[in-house]
Structure 1
Amino acid sequence: MPSETVLPDRTDSGTPAETPLRLVGIHKSFGGVVAIKNFDLDVKAGEIVALVGDNGAGKSTLIKIISGLYQPTEGEIWLNGQEANFRDASDARAKGVEVVYQDLALVVDQPVYMNMFLGRELTTGPLKILDRKRMATETQQLVDALDVRIPSAKATLSDLSGGQRQGVAICRATHWASSLVLLDEPTAALGVAETAKVEELILKLKARGAAILIVSHNMDQVFRIADRVSVLRRGTQVATRSLADTTHNELVAMITGLAS
């Protein structure tokens, strides 16, 4: 049987039993340089939170902390109600944290299904032969479920468009994430039409109950797909707002430091 994305349990009222991601007092210093200062955030199941700020604001540093590439100097990371202390990125992945980076981290000369199971290949028999049939079947089921329109799970990645490759990367994160998907500028290199397709896929993840934290420089995109937004400026958390309670101009003012 194919494995399925595991999403958080819910109460009868539809409220998540635990918050998939909670950051408490996150601080990160590199020597004498403070990159992140006292950052707090909850991301709920079935919610998209956008992380915005100018270049050098600390967005990517925060994503690397959540994904285990960096350890916070101070503060706590909680996943589904349990405190998490990651040794490295593989430890974070083992605990259900998946990241989609702008550069995708895909192998273009391999088929889609091999990219889906990259580093986690399924094998069969005593000789541990690659179980290509099972990997292809599970991959096809997932891309069909999320309506990622590719020719086949057996298609070579180099034959796909940028938007299709991004869709594969998001599918891979969905397949392995327990409840949390991190997206670091997932549409920065895409055109308008492909960006729209990727945003549609992100909204489908939300509808399936995933908690999503997305880094984006595209303010129009933030207002299209996010429920809340958290603003970073020079490593300091300026504000966290519901998109319904702010405006484009107010958001830009907070990013640039012109807010009153």
Structure 2
Amino acid sequence: MTTSRTAPLIEVTDLGKTYGSVVALRGITTTVRAGEVTCVLGDNGAGKSTFIKVLAGAHEHSEGTYAVDGVEQHMSSPRDALALGIATVFQDLAVVPLMPVWRNFFLGSEPRKGPFRLLDVDLMKRTTKDELAAMGIDLRDVDQPIGTLSGGERQCVAIARAVHFGARVLILDEPTAALGVRQSGIVLRYIAAARERGLGVVFITHNPHHAYPVGDRFLVLRRGRSIAEREKAQISRDELVTLMSGGAELDALAHELERDPLIG
């Protein structure tokens, strides 16, 4: 794994985003480094979706700085982010369920051959199988419709696709949100595999139990602001859970329920 002395691939400082008079983000500072996983945690309404849209180039930030490889950027579309090696795998994955795995792997970027520019199907099938194998994904048949794969397997195909097409930073939008325990474990293993291949990973999640095993850095958001930004050595799993759950508020609620004669 890369040490913390490595220059950040992405560095945001006092990042903010407003929509008219609505403040969606303010004062967000964190880094994404090669060979590390930066976990962005928060409950619903914490600002995770806005933050990911800014990182992915879908929305331009309103204040602060967003630097890639030390150069400040103002991106106006996801294509700008892709050109810098920043790929985003959104929760809905944007796959075509009835198409085979290899077609989805190359969707929109199909290689062609010969004077008639025919699809190079053999190359696509071979490359898909090899790239999935390199990530530790052993599919029985890349001809099977991607819709027949489990949710975890589809997430892993999307991760492998982003790696193949040159991503240096991989942003994952709640990849384990709709998955069971076993499938979540599969996705977390492939997040670790992407890190070991030297990518910088941004893992967006509301689940600290999924974030802590793979995370190297943790940014916790609440109501559009950062309430903590810690390296793994600086925070325990229990402390992360407490930050996420609003420990003080839950303790106050527990005491209130204990005093309420109508409870229990």
Q: TM exceeds 0.5?
A: yes
Retained in 1: the 8 A contact 2:82–2:167?
no
User: What residue number does 2:258 align with?
Assistant: none
SS at match of 2:143: coil
One-letter code of the match for 1:71?
A: E
Unaligned runs of 5+ in 1: 1-9
| Structure 2 residue 152 is matched with structure 1 residue 135 | no
Residues 153-162 or 214-223, more deviating: 153-162
| Structure 2 residue 93 is matched with structure 1 residue 104 | yes
**1:177/1:220 CA distance change after superposition, 3 Å:** same
SS at match of 2:8: coil
The sequence identity of aligned pairs, in percent, is 37
* TM-score (ref. length: structure 2): 0.87
Which of residues 63, 74, 82 in structure 1 aligns to 2:71? 82
Retained in 2: the 8 A contact 1:113–1:153?
yes
| Structure 2 residue 230 is matched with structure 1 residue 203 | no
User: What residue number does 2:254 align with?
Assistant: none
One-letter code of the match for 1:135?
A: M
User: What residue number does 1:55 align with?
Assistant: 44
Retained in 2: the 8 A contact 1:233–1:257?
no
| Structure 2 residue 143 is matched with structure 1 residue 123 | no
SS at match of 1:244: helix
Which of residues 141, 155, 159 in structure 1 aligns to 2:144? 155
User: What residue number does 1:223 align with?
Assistant: 212
Distance across 2 between alignment mates of 1:49 and 1:259: 25
User: What residue number does 1:3 align with?
Assistant: none
Which of residues 25, 49, 64 in structure 2 aligns to 1:36? 25
SS at match of 2:50: helix
| Structure 2 residue 53 is matched with structure 1 residue 64 | yes
| Structure 1 or 2: more helix by fraction | 2
* TM-score (ref. length: structure 1): 0.88
Unaligned runs of 5+ in 2: 250-264
Distance across 1 between alignment mates of 2:166 and 2:72: 17
- CA offsets 1:159-194 (integer angstroms, 9 cap, x no match): 212221111111112222431000111011111111
> 1:243 deviation in Å?
2.7
- CA offsets 1:48-94 (integer angstroms, 9 cap, x no match): 11101111110111011010111111222222233332221122122
SS at match of 2:221: strand
Which structure is larger by alpha-carbon Rg, 1 or 2? Answer: 2
User: What residue number does 1:167 align with?
Assistant: 156
Distance across 2 between alignment mates of 1:199 and 1:148: 13
One-letter code of the match for 1:149?
A: D
> 1:133 deviation in Å?
1.4
Distance across 1 between alignment mates of 2:168 and 2:134: 17
Retained in 1: the 8 A contact 2:129–2:139?
no
Distance across 1 between alignment mates of 2:244 and 2:148: 38
One-letter code of the match for 1:79?
A: V
One-letter code of the match for 1:32?
A: S
Retained in 2: the 8 A contact 1:104–1:166?
yes
Q: Tell me the C-alpha RMSD between the 2 structures.
A: 2.0
> 1:244 deviation in Å?
3.0
One-letter code of the match for 1:66?
A: L
> 1:211 deviation in Å?
0.6
Residues 227-236 or 78-87, more deviating: 78-87
- CA offsets 1:113-161 (integer angstroms, 9 cap, x no match): 1111122121123332221211211111110111113212222212212
Retained in 2: the 8 A contact 1:250–1:259?
no
Distance across 1 between alignment mates of 2:183 and 2:247: 33
Which of residues 62, 72, 75 in structure 2 aligns to 1:73? 62
TM superposition outliers: structure 1 runs of 4+ over 4 Å: 256-260
> 1:229 deviation in Å?
0.6
User: What residue number does 1:236 align with?
Assistant: 225
Distance across 2 between alignment mates of 1:185 and 1:21: 20
Distance across 1 between alignment mates of 2:4 and 2:131: 25
